[in-house]
Amino acid sequence: MKPTTTSGFIGVNMENPALEFEDFDRLVEQYRTRVLRFLYASVRDIDLAETLTQDCFWNAYKSRRSFRGDCSVNTWLMRIAVNLVRNKVQSRRFQFWRRAHRVNHEEIHDWPDRSISPEDRAAINEQVQAVWDATKTLSDRQRTVFLLRFVEDLDIAEIAQSVGLSESAVNVHLFRALRRIRKSLGRPK
Amino acid sequence: MSNHLSPDQFARCAAGSAAKAELQHVSECPECSAELEGFGTTLSLFRKAVRRRIDDRVVRHALEITPQAYIEAGVSKWRWAMVATAVIALFVPYFMHENQPRQETFEQGIGETNPDAVMNRVSRHLSRTVPAPMEPILSLIPGEESAAKTGGVQ
């Protein structure tokens, strides 16, 4: 059966590895930002996110023949990224959170838009920081689902495929994440 | 009992999975509507902040690997190569000059295998009144004749 893909790099040109590699370069170019963004939001450390992004594409390249085209390449890459976060970050949780606490203030702030008044900018920074802090209180799964939905704009079906859960389970995690974030923002009802 | 959305209903609305009744309530309740809108704005700002941060990073990274960067890296390498060549050009003659006399002396020593030549060298050495390294200094010290002419040490 011929695999169907959105990128055109999977399962094609088996006789010509050079062309396949060329396609892989294009794939990296196309998805690198998304993968890096998700990983950065997950691990809150830009250097670690860069490393994991490289690992993600390396793993994708190694396992490219196992991709059957039953989901989009974006979902497939996100699944690899989710597994990387789960495997690597959990194993070094202590260092990771300690470092995350140190860097997050300087990283997420400083809006470059000069049209915003200093007061508004301060208010925006406060809100962003509050969500950033709130995501820390989420479980790993809740955080992953929340980030995939609200930062990466994946729909519930894509998130389910990425994290290997049913759609209803994804919904449950998402609702819980939103409840906790809302509570952390100081608007419980 | 509150007439507003429960936390679960609110979360469903925020996630975009609201039921008809919940949507109906949001459209009729200004308080819930405002809160939902505010929450959505906050999440949107968070999303924007994360995206901006990464997009900046990616753009910076892309700029770092432009052909210009490669050219500059190449120029930098050439610059270092030139400095290294200049250093070598300065030091090699110096070391060659330093090694040359020793080499000559060594070769001389090896070359003098003739017994007469060796005896001459030994005699010359024994006839010295001062050690050989001091001989150049002795030429600077005035002799008895020159001392008499100038009246000796005053």
Instruction: Answer with the one of A83, A103, A123 that is the final residue of a domain.
Output: A103
Q: How far apart are CA B47 and CA B55, in angstroms?
A: 12
Kindly state whether residue A75 falls inside one of the protein's structural domains.
yes
A-chain residues near B52 (CB < 8 A): 112
pLDDT one-digit tens code per residue, B95-105: 777 666 555 55
Judge if A64 and A142 occupy the same domain: no
Judge if B21 and B70 occupy the same domain: no
Asked if B57's CB is within 8 angstroms of A46's CB, the reply is yes
Instruction: Answer with the one of A42, A68, A103 that is the final residue of a domain.
Output: A103
How many structural domains does chain B have? Answer: 2
φ and ψ at residue B141, rounded to 5 degrees: -85, 130
Is pLDDT at B52 greater than 80 in this prediction? Answer: yes
Residues whose CB is less than 8 angstroms from the CB of residue A166 and which lie 6 or more positions away in sequence, other chains included: A160
Smallest Cβ–Cβ distance between B55 and the set A33, A132, A150 belongs to A33
Please enumerate residues of A whose Cβ is less than 8 A from a Cβ of B: 32-33, 36-37, 40-41, 46, 107-109, 111-112, 124, 127-128, 130-132, 149-151, 156, 171, 174-176, 178-179, 181-183, 185, 187-189
Kindly state whether residue B7 falls inside one of the protein's structural domains.
yes
Which of A37-51, A83-97, B46-60 is modeled with the greatest confidence? A37-51
User: Comparing A36 with B140, which gets the higher pLDDT?
Assistant: A36
Q: Where are the alpha helices (DSSP H) in B65-143?
A: 67-111, 115-126, 135-138
Please enumerate residues of B whose Cβ is less than 8 A from a Cβ of A: 2, 4-8, 10-12, 14-15, 17, 35, 38-39, 41-43, 45-47, 49-55, 57-58
pLDDT one-digit tens code per residue, B75-92: 555 667 777 888 888 877
Q: How far apart are CA A54 and CA A115, in angstroms?
A: 36
Looking at residue A157, what is its pLDDT?
92
Q: What is the largest CA-CA distance in chain A?
A: 61
Residue reference for tokens 């860097």:
A103
pLDDT one-digit tens code per residue, A151-168: 888 999 999 999 999 999
List the domain range (segments joined by +) for residue B6: 1-56
Task: List C-alpha distances in Å: A19 to A54, A74, B122, B146.
Answer: 20, 21, 83, 95
pLDDT one-digit tens code per residue, A76-119: 899 999 999 988 766 665 455 545 544 444 455 555 566 677 77
Kindly state whether residue B118 falls inside one of the protein's structural domains.
no
Q: Poorest-confidence range of A167-171, B72-76, B99-103, B114-118?
A: B72-76
List the domain range (segments joined by +) for residue A170: 113-189
Mean pLDDT (chain A) is 78
Kindly state whether residue A3 falls inside one of the protein's structural domains.
no
DSSP one-letter code for A88: I
How many structural domains does chain A have? Answer: 2
Looking at residue A23, what is its pLDDT?
75
Asked if A175's CB is within 8 angstroms of B47's CB, the reply is no
* Mean pLDDT, range B58-78, rounded to an integer: 54
Residue reference for tokens 């990983």:
A39
Q: The domain spanning residue A21 has which CATH number? A: 1.10.1740.10
B-chain residues near A112 (CB < 8 A): 52
Task: List C-alpha distances in Å: A8 to A65, A133, B149.
Answer: 13, 39, 107
